[in-house]
Amino acid sequence: MLKNANQKHTTLILKAMTFIFILWAANVSYGFLHEAAHAITVKMLGGQVYEIYVNPLGTDAYTVHSSVSGVADTLSLEVAGMAMTTLLAFITLLSDYRPIPIFMAIRTAIYALNYSPGTDIHAIQQAIGAGAILVTALLVALNLACAAIAMTAMIKSAKTPTVKAFSSSLGRVLHQNSS
> In Å, how far are 31, 83, 109, 115, 118 from 39, measured between CA atoms?
12, 13, 21, 21, 16
Over the stretch 51-107, which tens digit does the pLDDT of each residue have? 999 999 999 999 999 999 999 999 999 999 999 999 999 999 998 888 999 999 999
Reduced DSSP (H G I as helix, E B as strand, rest coil) percent helix, strand, coil of the chain, to 5: 75, 5, 20
Over the stretch 121-164, which tens digit does the pLDDT of each residue have? 999 999 999 999 999 999 999 999 999 999 999 999 886 555 55
User: Measured between alpha carbons, how far is 88 from 100 in angstroms, rounded to an integer?
Assistant: 10
Rounded to 10 deg, the angle between the 71-92 and 132-156 helix axes is 0
| pLDDT of 139 | 98
Range of the domain at 106: 2-178
> In Å, how far are 23, 57, 65, 111 from 101, measured between CA atoms?
11, 19, 29, 15
User: Measured between alpha carbons, how far is 119 from 124 in angstroms, rounded to an integer?
Assistant: 9
The domain tally of the chain equals 1
Distance of CA 20 to the CA centre of its chain: 16
| pLDDT of 168 | 57
pTM for the structure as a whole: 0.81
